[in-house]
């Protein structure tokens, strides 16, 4: 079984350390990192707004921004990389998402993801984990979890997540979880041991967005 980790752009300064930590601890297992967009995707948002780009073009440009973050990781570590979800090697690999997502969409892989800014690397990572048959995926970010009235909660339902004015997930993720039942574990990647605990299924600090599975 593959463990899917969405590595947020907010963790860029610590991304190499996180990746090396996972490689040391899970070298005999299959860990697939789905890169966030970070500052690369932010630049696409700016260009999209400034030049009134269509949502379709902006969507694919943002996925290419995720690929830039992947190459940053490749440069800073000895991480493997893959453009395919088939035959993922043991150890830690980073997904180059553009070709992978294109091929999956050409094959009409369900459920389809909207091509809007509501879908970012969060929903794409969830989609990848669902396709791989995972019950859950891990969102490593720079906050400790989901907060309700300034209090971090260990678990939250999709309906409660939808009722929040804002959270650390993209806008479409609650709908995706509702449709697929795939759970999302939100942890602070500045503490790599929390990612490890979530992978192992042991006690960890964070928030579980509970799916149906």
**pLDDT tens digits for 63-84?**
999 999 999 999 999 899 999 9
Q: What is the mean pLDDT of residues 140-157?
A: 96
Question: For residue 197, is pLDDT > 70?
Answer: yes
Q: Cβ atoms within 10 A of the Cβ of 145, count?
A: 24
Q: What is the mean pLDDT of residues 190-206?
A: 97
Which pLDDT belongs to residue 165? 87
Question: For residue 213, is pLDDT > 80?
Answer: no
Percent of the chain residues topping a pLDDT of 90: 92
Q: Give a three-class secondary structure readout of the chain.
A: CEEEEEECHHHHHHHHHHHHHHHHHCCCCEEEEEECCHHHHHHHHHHHHHCCCCHHHHHHHHHHHHHHHHHHHHHHCCCEEECCCCCCCCEEEEECHHHHHHHHHHCCCCCCCCCCCCCCHHHHHHHHHHHCCCCEEEEEECCCCEEECCEEECEECHHHHHHCCCCCCCCCHHHHHHHHCCEEEEEECCCHHHHHHHHHCCCCCCEEECCCC
Which pLDDT belongs to residue 58? 97
Average pLDDT, the chain: 96
Residue 88: pLDDT band (50, 70, 90) is very high
Question: For residue 151, is pLDDT > 80?
Answer: yes
Global pTM value: 0.95
Q: At the top level of CATH, which class does the domain 2-209 belong to?
A: alpha beta
Q: Where does residue 111 rank: exposed (0-12), middle (13-18), buried (19+ CB within 10 A)?
A: exposed
91 within 8 A of 80, measured Cβ to Cβ? yes
Percent of the chain residues topping a pLDDT of 70: 100
Nearest to 152 by CA among 135, 129, 168, 131: 168
Which pLDDT belongs to residue 166? 87
Any idea which residue has 């790599």 for tokens? 192
Which pLDDT belongs to residue 20? 96
Residue 107: pLDDT band (50, 70, 90) is confident
37 within 8 A of 65, measured Cβ to Cβ? yes
Residue 109: pLDDT band (50, 70, 90) is confident
Radius of gyration of the chain (CA): 16
Crossing angle for the helix pair 55-76 and 15-25, to the nearest 10 degrees: 60
Which pLDDT belongs to residue 87? 83
Triad 39, 44, 47: Cα angle to 5°: 125
Cis peptide before 124 (omega within 30 of 0): no
Residue 110: pLDDT band (50, 70, 90) is confident
Any idea which residue has 């004015």 for tokens? 165
Residue 108: pLDDT band (50, 70, 90) is confident
187 within 8 A of 204, measured Cβ to Cβ? yes
């Amino acid at each position: 079984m593959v463990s899917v980790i969405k590595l947020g752009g907010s963790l860029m300064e610590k991304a190499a350390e996180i990746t090396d930590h996972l490689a040391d601890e899970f070298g005999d297992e299959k860990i697939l990192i789905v890169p966030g967009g970070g500052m690369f995707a932010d630049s696409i948002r700016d260009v999209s707004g400034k030049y009134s780009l269509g949502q379709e073009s902006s969507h694919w440009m943002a996925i290419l921004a995720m690929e830039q973050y992947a190459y940053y990781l490749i440069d800073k570590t000895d991480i493997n990389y893959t453009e395919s979800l088939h035959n993922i090697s043991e150890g830690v690999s980073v997904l180059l998402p553009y070709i992978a997502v294109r091929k999956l969409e050409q094959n009409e892989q369900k459920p389809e993801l909207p091509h809007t800014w509501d879908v970012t690397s969060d929903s794409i990572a969830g989609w990848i984990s669902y396709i791989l048959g995972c019950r859950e995926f891990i969102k490593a970010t720079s906050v400790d979890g989901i907060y309700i009235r300034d209090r971090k909660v260990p678990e939250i339902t999709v309906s409660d997540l939808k009722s929040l004015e804002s959270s650390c997930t993209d806008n479409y993720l609650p709908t995706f979880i509702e449709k697929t039942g795939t759970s999302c574990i939100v942890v602070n990647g500045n503490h790599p041991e929390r990612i490890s605990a979530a992978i192992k299924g042991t006690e960890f600090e964070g928030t579980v967005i509970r799916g149906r599975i």
